[in-house]
Chains A and B, each alone.
Chain A
């Protein structure tokens, strides 16, 4: 069990890299789509809803396969400079995970935006604060604070999601565990050790979010 630990830890580093990168892009995508969702224009609104409906209604594995195997099928993508990105399984995984977590994040942020008390915005308006500043200084900070607990859950779900990267040949924690299992025929040791590392990571993330909630949490 000790001998397989280093290779699993290497895998865990890859898993964390995947998680952090896709959470970063996912947050940006989620924020953009949350703003589109609360837009009053029905076409923009429907577009953003369709995006989140698709990515929340289909399994992550389908999205991953669509991007990894499917995009390579399109002729002009293969000839364009995008090919540098989508020929790498690592970037395909990041694209799929970012789009997936972006959809969930947009829903979390949208509901946070919609539960902001109207009084805050009215107060800002009556003080003559411009719309832009109201958004950046009042709505956005409140929405981020309110969505912290739900976003913490999303990070943990995404950590579990990164294990799917192993099916498109990335040697993340899950991939390393599979390799150990194939080499040693000891499924219990390989997968239970990997499971303990995953649990540890979940535990750490959970506590960081709890700390942030306590420090910056928003009490209404």
Chain B
């Protein structure tokens, strides 16, 4: 147990901050995913063939390749791409992109693909009468979206978004391969320096279990709160 104590002798505080890092990356990734989803959901539902294909390509490709591949592509390719863009603007120095940003972006692109599917399903399950009624009342298209469709869509997608959150939370463990110190990386370091991998990976597993358990409870509460009156 002394291995987990706080302070210089134990790994308790390191693991605690690593857990916070995991939560931070997950939330950032989820937020980035939302932005992607809000861009690509209209494309997937659009009647325009080209836009439709773009939307479908995004979700199909991202859901068809391993998460690790997206992370590697951004991690190894991102630096080169950023330096290339900078060289166009006349900057030739070395640019290193922060591991947190790369990681959050990579996981965000992945969770965005899943969120897109969730939002699409939610919008399709909204009663057609809602669209027609707002049209009859002469409400503008974007007001219709923000005031009528979006709130209902979010409420309907809470149960499925909780699945996406679980996937995102677990996917953040993959960022450890790029060197960002979250739970997985920290246990790897601790296991290496104490030569006790069994203990530290078990601790990591328990930390993930606690995170998934707590977030499940929280989301269930949200779901109950927002389904009042239905």
A-to-B contact residues, CB < 8 Å: 53-54, 57-63, 65-66, 69-74, 156, 159-164, 166-167, 174, 177-178, 181, 187-188, 191-192, 194-195, 198-199, 202-203
Contact = CB atoms under 8 A, between A and B. Distances in A.
B73 A66 contact: no
B39 to A, nearest CB: 21
B198 A195 contact: no
Contacts of A66: 197-198, 201-202, 205
Interface in B191-205: 191, 196-198, 201-202, 204-205
A202 B64 contact: yes
A70 B173 CA distance: 17
Contacts of B177: 167
Residue from the set B77, B171, B176, B187 with the largest chain A CB neighbour count within 10 Å: B77
Contact of B65 (A53, A162, A181, A198): A198
A198 B184 contact: no
A92 to B, nearest CB: 12
B209 interface: yes
Interface string B157-182: 00000000010001101101100000
B191 to A, nearest CB: 6
B208 A58 contact: yes
B64 A163 contact: no
A61 B202 contact: no
B223 interface: no
27 contacts: A53-B209, A58-B170, A58-B204, A59-B171, A59-B184, A59-B208, A62-B173, A62-B184, A65-B188, A65-B191, A65-B197, A66-B197, A66-B205, A74-B198, A156-B64, A162-B66, A163-B66, A164-B66, A174-B69, A187-B72, A187-B76, A187-B80, A191-B69, A191-B76, A194-B69, A195-B61, A199-B65
Secondary structure dominating the interface of B = helix
B198 A160 contact: no
The CB with the most chain B CB atoms within 10 A, among A62, A73, A166, A181, is that of: A62
B205 A160 contact: no
A181 B72 contact: yes
B170 A59 contact: yes
A58 B205 contact: yes
Interface in B72-128: 72-73, 76-77, 80
A57 B209 contact: yes
Nearest to A181: B76
* CB-CB nearest 10 A-B residue pairs: A163-B66, A187-B76, A69-B197, A59-B173, A70-B198, A202-B64, A59-B170, A73-B198, A160-B66, A187-B77
B209 A54 contact: yes
A61 B187 CA distance: 12
Given A174-B66, A177-B72, A195-B73, 13 more contacts: A57-B209, A57-B212, A58-B170, A58-B209, A59-B170, A61-B173, A61-B174, A61-B176, A65-B197, A66-B202, A70-B198, A70-B202, A164-B174
Contacts of B198: 66, 69-71, 73-74
Contacts of A203: 64
Contact of A192 (B73, B174, B197): B73
Contacts of A59: 170-171, 173-174, 184, 208
Contacts of B173: 59, 61-62
Nearest to B183: A62
Nearest to A195: B65
A57 B184 contact: no
